[in-house]
Amino acid sequence: MSPRKRSAMEHTAQPGPASSECPDCHALTADLEAHKHWHSRLVHDIATAVDKDINRRTHSS
């Protein structure tokens, strides 16, 4: 009997480089923390723009 060496090592779980996927928009980013900051800033910008628009409409009428 020849004991076969089964290679239990699979090549599926290889640690990638310093890039991870954003759980929100599934974009590959090298810096997930900075990307999350970008997300919050984007949301903040949109909220500010909408607020300005609402203010403008309210004051013009």
Q: Toward Zn ion, which CB reaches closer, 20 or 22?
A: 22
Residues touching Zn ion, count (CB under 5 A): 4
Whole-number minimum distance, CB 55 to Zn ion, in Å?
29
Q: Toward Zn ion, which CB reaches closer, 13 or 25?
A: 25
In the range 6-45, which residues lie near Zn ion by CB under 5 A? 22, 24-25, 27
| 3-state SS, residue 25 | coil
* HEC per residue, 8-59: CCCCCCCCCCCCEECCCCCCEECCHHHHHHHHHHHHHHHHHHHHHHHHHHHH
Residues making contact with Zn ion (CB under 5 A): 22, 24-25, 27
